[in-house]
């Protein structure tokens, strides 16, 4: 195997790791990152190469990792710290183990290898699996109840229509109209509770087109009260999915965001490529991550553990079915919805698998650098 082939193989191996690997020169300039590091810093390899490592961490919040890098001589042993609190330049805080290794110790080169391992990876996966199991049990129960309720509703509606014809009194029609409209409302609610029951027909879907369609729908109904910002990665390839269902899932999330904003507010649509993401027991090499963030009231702590279960809501106008249906649709596409909420707002992250064949990673020297 030649040296270039060996380097390419080593790079592919490093890209399979969940640990972020960053290679620095003696000036702490980045000259290599693997996929996990790109995901950690929400930047492509081509945009990270040539940057000083200090640019990736907060200059406001104290970071032991930057202090250790500055003090690291590389003349002897490696440095490791466990359960470190690290604040990135974008303000995101993480808990991680990290290690700093000397690659070589010559005065001319003095390269350094930095490894960062997020601590909450396995706990997130375990939490996802437990939440999914609980959601499935709850959904099955809700479906059984919905079927039991739906059948009598048809009889009530039919009886109300017969009563309307028999009464013949126009002023009494308002009462039968109320019965019929309420039965129709309950029927629609139950159909939503039963969730998607059509077979997914997958075809190439441009996720940006899906988001733009939703943006137009929301602005038509809510502008100027709601402003929508876009932060799209235009390089995201098409994914295989059911466009109609994905529109419904993401629309449910956006409507949830709209309802969380009392007066005027802002919602942000953000798309990024993610790598090495595990859903259930399947690890996907590449995923698309769609973040929908709002500056609303946030989700109360009391219901955060049950937010994806049917009929759970803290909104007066909410049915408690929008998010469970969204999660069901995304689950049928092999993905998952996660969220992070505070009194200042909420971010829902929708993760959907991508095919490796539709994505080509840019490296220094290629077009687009």
If you average pLDDT over each of 122-126, 165-169, 318-322, which comes out highest?
A: 165-169
Query: Where is 124: in which H helix or E strand?
Result: helix 121-167
Tokens of 165: 């014809």
CA-CA distance, 237 to 273, in Å (whole number)? 9
The answer to whether 249 and 325 are in contact (CB under 8 A) is yes
The dihedral over CA atoms of 179, 185, 190, 195, expressed in degrees to the nearest 10, equals: 160
Domains of the chain, first to last: 3-119 (3.30.450.20), 125-194 (no CATH), 203-358 (3.30.565.10)
Task: Band the pLDDT of 225: cuts 50, 70, 90.
Answer: very high
The answer to whether the predicted template modeling score (pTM) of the entire model surpasses 0.75 is: no
Q: What is the pLDDT of residue 206?
A: 95
Q: Using pLDDT thresholds of 50, 70 and 90, give the confidence band for residue 353.
A: very high
Stretch 164-190: mean pLDDT: 79
pLDDT at residue 3, as a whole number: 53
Residue 91 confidence class, pLDDT cut points 50, 70, 90: confident
Cα–Cα distance, 80 to 358 (Å, whole number): 38
Which has more pLDDT, 362 or 213? Answer: 213
d(CA 11, CA 34): 7
369 pLDDT above the threshold of 80: no
36 is written with which tokens?
């996990």
Chain mean pLDDT for the chain: 79
**Helix H or strand E segment including 35:** helix 35-41
Contact 353, 335 (CB under 8 A): yes
Of 123 and 146, the structure prediction assigns the larger pLDDT to: 146
Q: Where are the alpha helices (DSSP H) in 223-359?
A: 243-259, 322-332
Question: What does the alpha-carbon distance between residue 78 and residue 63 come to, in Å, rounded to a whole number?
Answer: 18
Residue 245 C-beta-side C-alpha neighbours within 13 Å: 23
Question: Lowest mean pLDDT: which of 53-57, 59-63, 86-90, 224-228?
Answer: 59-63
- Give the residue with greater pLDDT, 110 vs 43: 43
Token duo for residue 343: 């009194």
261-288 residue pLDDT tens: 988 999 999 999 887 787 777 778 889 9
- Shortest CA distance to 333 belongs to which of 275, 268, 288? 288
Q: What is the reported pLDDT for 9?
A: 77
pLDDT in tens, 26-76: 888 999 999 888 888 888 888 899 999 988 888 765 567 878 887 776 555
Is residue 160 within 8 Å of 183, Cβ to Cβ?
yes
pLDDT reported for residue 94 = 81
Residue 182's pLDDT band, with cuts at 50, 70 and 90, is confident
Convert the pLDDT of each residue in 116-137 to its tens digit.
988 754 555 555 555 565 556 5
Kindly state the percentage of the chain with pLDDT values over 90: 25
- How far apart are alpha carbons 148 and 139 in whole angstroms? 14
- Reference 112, options 210, 21, 190, 192; nearest CA is 21
């Amino acid at each position: 195997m030649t040296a270039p082939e060996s380097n390419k193989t080593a790079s592919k191996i490093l890209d399979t790791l969940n640990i972020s690997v960053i290679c620095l020169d003696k000036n702490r300039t980045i000259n290599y990152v693997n996929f996990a590091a790109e995901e950690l810093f929400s930047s492509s390899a081509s945009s990270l190469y040539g940057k000083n490592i200090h640019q990736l961490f907060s200059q406001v919040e104290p970071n032991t990792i930057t202090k250790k890098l500055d003090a690291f001589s590389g003349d002897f042993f490696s440095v490791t710290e466990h359960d470190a609190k690290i604040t990135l330049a974008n303000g995101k805080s993480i808990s991680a183990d990290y290690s700093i290794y000397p690659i070589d110790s010559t005065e001319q080169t003095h390269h350094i290898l930095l490894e960062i391992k997020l601590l909450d990876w396995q706990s997130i996966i375990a939490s996802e699996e437990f939440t999914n199991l609980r959601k499935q049990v709850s959904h099955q129960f809700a479906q059984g109840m919905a079927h039991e309720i739906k059948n009598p509703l048809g009889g009530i509606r039919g009886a109300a229509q017969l009563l309307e014809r028999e009464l013949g009194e126009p002023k009494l029609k308002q009462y039968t109209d109320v019965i019929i409209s309420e039965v129709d409302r309950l029927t629609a609610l139950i159909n939503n509770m039963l969730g998607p029951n059509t077979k997914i027909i997958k075809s190439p879907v441009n996720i940006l087109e899906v988001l733009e369609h939703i943006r137009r729908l929301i602005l038509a109904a809510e502008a100027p009260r709601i402003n929508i910002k876009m932060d799209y990665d235009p390089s995201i390839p098409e994914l295989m999915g059911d466009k109609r269902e994905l529109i419904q899932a993401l629309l449910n999330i956006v409507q949830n965001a709209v309802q969380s904003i009392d007066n005027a507010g802002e919602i942000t649509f953000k798309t990024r490529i993610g790598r090495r993401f595990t859903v259930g027991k399947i690890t996907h090499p590449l995923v698309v991550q769609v973040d929908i963030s709002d500056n609303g009231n946030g989700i109360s702590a009391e219901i955060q553990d049950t937010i994806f279960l049917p009929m759970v809501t803290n909104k007066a106008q909410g049915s408690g079915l929008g998010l469970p249906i969204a999660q069901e649709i995304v689950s049928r596409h092999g993905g998952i919805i996660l969220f992070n909420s505070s009194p200042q707002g909420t971010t829902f992250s929708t993760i959907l698998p991508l095919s490796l064949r539709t994505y080509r990673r840019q490296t220094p020297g290629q077009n687009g650098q």
